[in-house]
Amino acid sequence: MKKILCLFSALALVVSSCSSDDAADASASVKPSKIAFSYSDPKENYFTEVKYEGDKLVSETDDDGYTIKYSYVGDLIAKTEEFGADKVLKTTTEYSYSAGKLASETVKNVGATQFYKTKYTQNGDGTVSFEEFNINAATGAEAEGGKVGKYTYKDGNLVKYESSYYGKPNSTYTYEYDSKKNPNTNVTGLKLLTGMEESASANNVVKITGTSTGLASVSTFSYLYNNNNFPTEKKHFSDNGTLTETAQFTY
């Protein structure tokens, strides 16, 4: 089953308008409707179609039928449901909020005896702390999962992610950005989903540097942009400069 590379990595294509006012109006309504992904092996290529009601997400569907459906309460994303190509529900993710900020995220895999919950603390200094828990699916009892960490934001962008596992450093990533518009700018609720990394940031990531379980990595990204400063193409390069993925977007 191909995994949706969520809208959270998608980039927008808008039609250039003939006046600055029209351009501003067009820019305010830009949202991805189709993202085509290509790889060195053409057999791996696929596309994702995205549906909305106004500025709210309804669904993302891969060309093999794998689908994520979104539910809102007001302007807050309350739940996502993932369905396989067979149309059978696989996973439900529930979100809770406090004072308009994300407070928790609970992942429930169908048929599982254990669910996974992440609790978030908004620190007020540009950082968000998190702690993971395991939940007994039958009783609802929570137990510490061992993983804790922190997200650091600046100017609306995630700039650093740090985590530890049972007190030992686990992962550290730093993020660098361009000054152009993130394709998710006009999608209601996405920027509140802490943990979606660079896809919920204000701009577009150009470099990710990090270590995970002792292994270092560097990923770089290049873009083509339209007249409204939204990227129309994104290329992802690995440590050695090899192109690993190209994404092209329509709206």
Pick left, alpha or beta for residue 65 (phi over 0 → left; psi -120 to 50 → alpha; otherwise beta): left
Is 26 a domain residue?
no
**Across 61-85, average pLDDT:** 98
Contact 108, 133 (CB under 8 A): no
Is 21 a domain residue?
no
Residue 7 has pLDDT above 50, yes or no: no
Rounded to the nearest angstrom, the gap between the alpha carbon of residue 12 and the centroid of all alpha carbons in its chain is 15
Rounded to the nearest angstrom, the gap between the alpha carbon of residue 137 and the centroid of all alpha carbons in its chain is 26
CATH number of the domain where residue 217 is located = 2.40.160.150
Contact 65, 87 (CB under 8 A): yes
Q: Which domain holds residue 196?
A: 34-250
Element at 27 (helix H, strand E): helix 20-28
Is 126 a domain residue?
yes
Residue keyed to tokens 């939204």: 230
Is 131 a domain residue?
yes
Note the pLDDT of residue 199: 78
Is 24 a domain residue?
no
Taking only the tens place, the pLDDT of each residue in 93-124 is 999 999 999 999 999 999 999 999 999 999 98
Contact 133, 144 (CB under 8 A): yes
* 8-state DSSP, 38: E
Is 6 a domain residue?
no
Number of domains in the chain: 1
Structure confidence at residue 28 as a pLDDT band (50, 70, 90): confident
Is this model's pTM higher than 0.75 or not?
yes
Is 240 a domain residue?
yes
| Amino acid identity at 76 | L
Is 118 a domain residue?
yes
% pLDDT > 70, the chain: 89
